[in-house]
């Protein structure tokens, strides 16, 4: 049974290899985009926690000549059409670099950020909420009117409060779990659309 489960999940890994995506996570963004239609031609897209780069690859492909700024604490191998910034999104110096790269703001802010799991469930959840909050601050700062924000969070006691917080800033908020998420993972994606007037640039 366990091997069967693993094999079906690995289909995304195999598909990513075949289709040239750097990670199987690409299929999560493809599913999110199929459902919510977020990526539009020529969009300016900010991809937080972007390494190794599969979400930026998807954004570059679907966005048709978009401007993509990809940020990660780890280095990201160069990708055509993608400007990379190495930095911690919780640090002001990284936010200053994002401001330089996107002076006109972003149509879409993506955050697939995750720290290596410690295995201590409540600590991993708390850290994921902190990083999601940092991503929300960045989205509030850089999103244009009619922009959208997608952020990964892990299931846990603070998820509901975080979702309520996003509703203060966005008119439409949905929690979505793609098929491509591994069964053993607690991850969910909060998809926020239509920034309330006072939040957008």
Ligand X SMILES: C[S@@+](CC[C@H](N)C(=O)[O-])C[C@H]1O[C@@H](n2cnc3c(N)ncnc32)[C@H](O)[C@@H]1O
Interaction between residue 22 and ligand X (CB under 6 A): yes
Least distance from ligand X to the Cβ atom of residue 120, Å:
17
Q: Which residues of 121-136 are buried (b: 16+ CB within 10 A; e: fewer)?
A: eeebbebbbebbbbbb
How far is it, in rounded angstroms, from Cα 31 to Cα 96?
31
Closer residue to ligand X in complex, CB, 166/181: 181
Closer residue to ligand X in complex, CB, 94/193: 94
Interaction between residue 95 and ligand X (CB under 6 A): no
Closer residue to ligand X in complex, CB, 151/173: 151
Least distance from ligand X to the Cβ atom of residue 173, Å:
21
Residue of 28, 44, 67, 152 marked catalytic? 152
Beta carbons within 8 Å of 186's beta carbon, 6+ residues apart: 125, 154, 155, 156
- Which part of the chain contacts ligand X (CB under 6 A), choosing from 7-15, 35-43, 71-79, 98-106? 71-79
Q: Is 152 a catalytic residue?
A: yes
Catalytic residue positions, numbered:
152
Interface residues toward ligand X, by CB under 6 A: 22-23, 25-26, 49-55, 71-74, 88-90, 112-115, 131
């Amino acid at each position: 049974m366990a091997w069967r489960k693993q094999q079906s999940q690995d289909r995304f890994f195999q598909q990513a290899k075949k289709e040239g995506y750097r990670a199987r996570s690409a299929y999560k963004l493809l599913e999110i985009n199929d459902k919510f239609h977020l990526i539009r031609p020529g969009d300016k897209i900010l991809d937080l926690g972007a390494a190794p780069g599969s979400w930026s690859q998807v954004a570059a492909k679907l966005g048709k000549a978009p401007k993509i700024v990809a940020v990660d604490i780890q280095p990201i191998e160069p990708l055509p059409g993608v400007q990379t910034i190495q930095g911690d999104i919780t640090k002001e110096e990284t936010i200053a670099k994002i401001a330089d790269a996107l002076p006109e703001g972003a149509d879409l802010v993506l955050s697939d950020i995750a720290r290596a799991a410690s295995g201590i469930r409540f600590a991993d959840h708390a850290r994921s909420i902190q990083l999601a909050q940092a991503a929300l601050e960045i989205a509030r700062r850089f999103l244009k009117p009619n922009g959208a924000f997608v952020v990964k969070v892990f299931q846990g006691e603070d998820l509901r409060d975080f979702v309520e917080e996003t509703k203060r800033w966005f008119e439409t908020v949905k929690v979505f779990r793609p098929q491509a998420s591994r069964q053993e993972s607690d991850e969910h994606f909060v998809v926020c659309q239509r920034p309330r007037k006072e939040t957008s640039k």
